A and B are shown apart, each in its own frame.
Chain A
C-alpha cells in the first residue's frame, strides 16, 4: 500500500530531526568555535572570522538564516506548542524519566528566551557592537557582556539548558525513530547521552568563562 504522509507526522518528525541536524550539529560546532577563546583573544577572533569567511557575500547571511535561523524558529515555536499540550504533575510512576520529560520542556522554554536575547545582542548588536560586523573585536565585545555577573549567570543557565536539552533530546530521538527499541539498549544509550551532555556542558562553560578575568584560562592576556 502506498502512503500519503500526514502533515502531523511530517511536522513532528521534522521537529525531532531538526533538533539533531541542523540545530544539535550547529551547537557542537558553535561550542568548538567558542572554545578557541581559551587559546586567547586572537585565536577566538580568527575562529569567528574563519566561520564568517566560509561563504562569500550574501551567501553567508542566507545560509545562516536558512540552515540555522529557520530550523531553530520552527523547532522553537512548534516545541513551545508541544510543551503547552502536555499535562504536568501526573503522579510520578517513573521519577527519573518523568523529570527528564519535564526538564526537556523547561529547558526548551529557557532556550527560547536565551537564544532570542543572545542572537539579538551578539549577532545583531543590540546593546553593544554586533560581532557579525566587527569580527576583529569579537573577543572584547563578548568580554564586555560576560563581565556583567547577571549576564554570565544567564549564560551558565543557557549553556546548561542547551547541553541538557541536546543530551536528553538525543536519547528520545533514538526512541522516536525506532533506533533504540529495547529497554536495555535505551538504558545503555542513556549513559552515552549523559556523557555527551557533561562534555558539551564543560566545553560550553570553559568557553564562556574564558572571557572572565578571574579564571586561570582567561583568554584576554
Chain B
C-alpha cells in the first residue's frame, strides 16, 4: 500500500505490573520496511505525533529472518513476527502494535515467556542421548517420518499459536499447541520413541492434551504452517491407547 508516512499506535508499559497506555508515532515512509525497522526509526527520535517527548520502545528480536521466534508481537490484532511483517503488505491505515497478551509484560512489546519454556521442560520435549561413551549410529528413519518431522521441527516457539488459543490463558494451565507438537516430534523419532511413555504421562497431567478445546485457531495462525491440530489429534490417539491399556503393563 502506498503511503507518505507510517503511523504506529503502540501499547506502552513501563514495567511488570504497571498500567499500560497507548502512544502514537509517525515516521517517514521508506519502501521495504518491516515492523522492526519502524521501531528502530522511532528509537532515533522518540517523540509522539502529539509532539510529546517519550522513551524508545522496547522489544525482543534476534535472528531477523523468521527463524528464531523471538520477535512475535500482536500486529494489527494478530500475533505475528515483527521481522517478517512488511509494512508494504499491510493496509494503508495506522499500524497497531501490542505485546503478546498471554504472557506477563516485561516492558512495552517485550514479554516474559518463561511459562512456555517451563512447559517444554514439563513435557520432556527432548531426546536424552547424553552419556559417557559413544553409542554408535542411531536407528534409521523412514522417509515419510523424516519429512513429517522436518515440518514439525520448524516450530520456533514463537507463541503465536498460544496467542490465538482460547484455552491458553491465566485461568488454565494448558501447555498449548507448540509444546504438544514438540511431544509428537520427539515421540515419532526412532530414538525418541524409547522415552515416549514418559512424555505421554507428562501431557496427561493437568494442563495437558485434554485441555485442548478444538477451536483450531492455532493451525491457521501458525507462521510455519505446522499441522498443529493433527499433532494434537495424534497425541489424542497415543494417550487414548496409553490410558486404556497402559495400566495393563503393571
Write the residues of chain A forming the contact surface with B, with a CB cutoff of 8 angstroms: 1-6, 8-10, 12-13, 16, 82, 84-88, 90-94, 97-98, 100-101, 172, 175-183, 186
Give A172 to B233 CA distance when docked, in angstroms: 10
Give A52 to B154 CA distance when docked, in angstroms: 59
Residues of chain A with a CB closer than 8 A to B242's CB = 3
CB-CB nearest in chain A for B214: A172
Evaluate whether A1 and B206 lie within 8 angstroms (CB atoms) in the complex, with A93-B220, A94-B215, A175-B236 already known: no
Residues of chain B with a CB closer than 8 A to A180's CB = 233
Write the residues of chain B forming the contact surface with A, with a CB cutoff of 8 angstroms: 77-79, 163-169, 171-172, 197-198, 201, 204-221, 227, 229-230, 232-243, 246-247, 249-250
List 13 A-B residue pairs with CB atoms under 8 Å apart, sorted by A's residue number.
A1-B197, A2-B247, A2-B249, A5-B246, A5-B247, A8-B206, A85-B171, A92-B217, A101-B215, A172-B214, A175-B236, A180-B233, A182-B233
Evaluate whether A98 and B250 lie within 8 angstroms (CB atoms) in the complex, with A84-B171, A181-B230 already known: no
A200 CB, nearest partner CB in chain B, Å: 20
Number of A-B residue pairs at CB separation under 8 A: 137
Asked if B206 contacts A101 (CB within 8 A), the reply is no
CB-CB nearest in chain A for B204: A9
Which of B166, B233, B236 interacts with A88 by CB under 8 Å?
A: B166
Give A12 to B174 CA distance when docked, in angstroms: 13
Residues of chain B with a CB closer than 8 A to A5's CB = 204, 243, 246-247
CB-CB nearest in chain A for B215: A101
Asked if B208 contacts A9 (CB within 8 A), the reply is yes
Asked if A86 contacts B213 (CB within 8 A), the reply is yes
CB-CB nearest in chain B for A83: B213
Which of B77, B172, B218, B246 interacts with A91 by CB under 8 Å?
A: B77
A204 CB, nearest partner CB in chain B, Å: 24
Going nearest first, the 5 A-B pairs with the smallest beta carbon separation are A178-B237, A2-B250, A3-B246, A12-B210, A101-B215
Give A2 to B245 CA distance when docked, in angstroms: 9
Residues of chain B with a CB closer than 8 A to A12's CB = 210-211
Residues of chain B with a CB closer than 8 A to A101's CB = 166, 213-216
Asked if A90 contacts B240 (CB within 8 A), the reply is no
Give A92 to B237 CA distance when docked, in angstroms: 27
Evaluate whether A178 and B234 lie within 8 angstroms (CB atoms) in the complex, with A3-B247, A91-B77, A97-B215 already known: yes
